[in-house]
Structure 1
């Protein structure tokens, strides 16, 4: 359907650019749904800054393994992180149809490489299950929620990068030329 991705991005941008009061109401209980292969994941909307089209990142020497490079986002250097590597999924090259979700992971902004985004849903705590009950050992998942289309793993950005990875990334960024 022509124009559908732009329409979806417009809705996400609208939600991400809400007034402070609207933002509090929206982000406290909303999730951004994204895809990797046939699996659906979510991020709390409060941690998401924007969704952009994927581009080829610049290599960042000495970065942690999950960092595939960096990109210049309006004058700010942002590490590009491969979510597939974090979840132990088969790796692949970044494609033009992929998207980057720019979000806050601990104290760093990162661009997460995803196949695509579906949109924003309201999280219903009654439908959310602790991850240990469904997928034990996935420390990067804060919960699992049920939707009409099936289960969605809720990604925990505060635990996405380990302290060691964050320190290593900061060192790599500090030593990067430019």
Structure 2
């Protein structure tokens, strides 16, 4: 699933995306990190949302017609939990091909390999994969999903 953060292109493994949802109003979550704009009411289930632009240190773009919430499951506090990812300019699905280079950054473990050139889906520029399984630091897991049961 391809999308942008600012001018840069990123992707999530399609198998990681459960649903693609239109942007909706969020309930503020006081005390949350700056990149957590709030909770999404998903049919009565509160789902925390991470703004990928803010997480990457880029000012969030205005909500556009192609801004979406990408619903994923992440390991948190010993089990899988639903998490929404606010993604700018979702452009669709592309096959990145096998030519991926290590593009990880120690300070951002959620950044994965990079596809370059013809392996970047449409042959233009670079695309960096995000690993949703590595998005949440332990202290953020506790904040968003509560303390683990004793």
Residue number in structure 2 paired with 1:124? 97
Q: Is the 8 A contact 1:44 1:154 kept in 2?
A: yes
Counterpart for residue 72 of structure 2: 103
TM value normalised by structure 2: 0.80
> What are the ranges of 5 or more consecutive residues in structure 2 without an aligned counterpart?
none
Are the structure 2 counterparts of residues 96 and 122 from structure 1 closer, same or farther at C-alpha, using a change threshold of 3 Å? Answer: closer
* CA RMSD of superposed structures (Å): 2.0
For 1:153, the equivalent position in structure 2 comes to 128
Secondary structure of the residue that 1:138 maps to in structure 2?
Answer: coil
CA distance in 1, matches of 2:115, 2:6: 19
Superposed displacement of residue 168, structure 1:
1.3
Structure with the higher fraction of residues in helix conformation: 1
Residues 104-150 of structure 1, C-alpha deviation per residue, up to 9 Å, x if partnerless?
A: 2323211111112111122322x100114xx6643221110122121
Tell me if 1:48 matches 2:21. no
Q: TM-score, with normalisation over the residues of structure 1?
A: 0.69
In 2, the alpha carbon distance for the partners of 1:112 and 1:137 equals 19
Matched residue pairs, number?
137
Q: Which runs of 5+ in 1 are unaligned?
A: 1-31, 173-178
Gap change, CA 1:163 and 1:150, over 3 Å in 2: same
The one of 129, 139, 144 aligned to 2:109: 139
